Amino acid sequence: MAPVTDPFHPRYFDQRDLGDELDRVGAVCAGCRACVERCEAFPRLFELLDGAAATGRHRLTPDEQQVVVDGCFDCGLCVLACPDAPGRSDRAIDVRQLLQRARELRHRDHPPPVTTRIAAGARRLVTRVSDPRPRTRFTTWMAQRSSSPNDGARPVVMFPTCHVEHHAPEIGRAGVGLLEQTGADCRVPSGLVCCGAPQLAAGDVAGFVESGRRNVRLLTEALGAHRSDRDGDAADRDRVEVVVPLPACAEILRSQYVRYVGGSDAELLAEATVDLAAHLLEHPPSMAEATSEPTGDAGAVTLHLPCRSRTAPADGAIAELLRRDGFEVTEVSGCLSPRAPQAILAAAATEVAVAIGSRGDGVVSSACPTALGAIVASSTIVGVHPLELLARHRGLLDN
Ligand code: SF4
Ligand code: SF4
């Protein structure tokens, strides 16, 4: 029987079915073990399955499942590397999705107490209030700026993400400036909310679907308005895209809304969504008017590739854009999430340090806010999102 992956399937939240699937996947992975050093989930899975078999049990208890789930930090790299992943083999091994399903079942049966949710909300508020940098929200900046696109400008819809909206509006401003250099008319629908990734990571399907429905509606309405406004043939109109500056959030729009929200609008949005860097590679920005002096030589940059950009079609786009502008790019990868195992973190940090050390100067750049935060916190080096780096080099940001 094919594994259940559809959240609307009647067996999706069946504990016995999930246990059977963990058993099946665990047996395949135990015979392979290629991922044993990627995270803690795999060694825990093998150990617990061996322990269960030794006592005559055939599946893990919900608490044991949770131990395995807690070892997964959702990097997605096991699926990327697996020769038996869905689409590559009839075995359809997708450990990431399976552990996500276990997370959701846990959340449904044991929702976190209200106090935990209030504490999480308070932590977010304190982070925002304690950030000493003055911030104008990205959408406020968009509403205040006066821009009059040329007739015939190519329409583009941006999903800025809540990180850009609240914490890093300069990334959004950089994206708008670069898009305008491609001849695009960039629009941001009002009322968008977080893509819902934090809720999904916690297994909170209801919370995720609520955010997803709202974003799908607003973005497809904006797409529809742009597409019907646009002159030209139907194929040309259909090429209006939704661009996203952060690869992890682009992945949510491209794959998870179809799974969890469903419907033709979610499918339309998935097809229209691209990483902003990939869009810029296809529509190269010209060196048009700058708002301030360009920052001079492009220089050296150590570019960290987020896990999500390695699992998405945008892989390599931002490095190519930086090279076209004259940057000397050294690419590094490796997960820098604080939830990654110590050995993975240490290896990734060493890779970054070696790249910086071999240059002795330059900046570090990453489209993953978590990785960038970790790099900047552990060194005196300048850290910046690659779109911002590109826009500053082109004189598109005046502060
Ligand atoms: S996920 Fe795939 S590659 Fe990784 S251990 Fe399992 S079977 Fe092997
Ligand atoms: S998604 Fe990443 S962290 Fe999760 S099981 Fe796969 S390799 Fe481990």
pLDDT in tens, 209-259: 999 999 999 999 999 876 665 555 455 545 799 999 998 899 999 999 999
Q: Domain 300-393, what fold? A: Rossmann fold (3.40.50)
With a pLDDT cut of 70, the percent of the chain lying above it is 83
For residue 68, pLDDT beyond 70: yes
For 328-386, the pLDDT digits (tens) are: 998 888 777 777 777 777 777 777 777 776 665 668 888 888 888 877 776 667 788 99
Ligand showing the shortest atom-to-Cα distance for residue 37: 2
Task: Find, among 360, 367, 369, the residue nearest to 299 by Cα.
Answer: 360
CB of 85 closer than 6 A to ligand 2?
no
Burial zone of 42 (CB within 10 Å; 0-12 exposed, 13-18 middle, 19+ buried): buried
Q: What is the pLDDT of residue 378?
A: 67
138-282: what CATH class?
mainly alpha
Best mutation site among 35, 36, 72, 82 for ligand 2 pocket (most ligand atoms within 8 Å of CB): 72
Q: Is the dihedral of CA 378, 351, 313, 98 positive or negative?
A: negative
Task: Find, among 297, 327, 323, 295, the residue nearest to 397 by Cα.
Answer: 295
Which atom belonging to ligand 1 lies closest to the Cα atom of 85? 2
| Pair of tokens at residue 101 | 């399903």
Which atom belonging to ligand 1 lies closest to the Cα atom of 91? 7
Centre of ligand 2 from the C-alpha of residue 37, in Å: 10
The pTM of the full predicted model, rounded to 2 decimals, is 0.83
CB of 372 closer than 6 A to ligand 1?
no
CB of 78 closer than 6 A to ligand 2?
yes
One DSSP character per residue, 189-200 reads: -TT----SHHHH
The helix/strand/coil state of 364 is: strand
**Residue reference for tokens 């030589």:** 297
Q: For the chain, which residues make up each domain, given as ranges?
A: 15-109, 138-282, 300-393
CA distances, 41 to each of 63, 102, 323 (Å): 14, 13, 37
Centre of ligand 2 from the C-alpha of residue 69, in Å: 9
CB of 277 closer than 6 A to ligand 2?
no
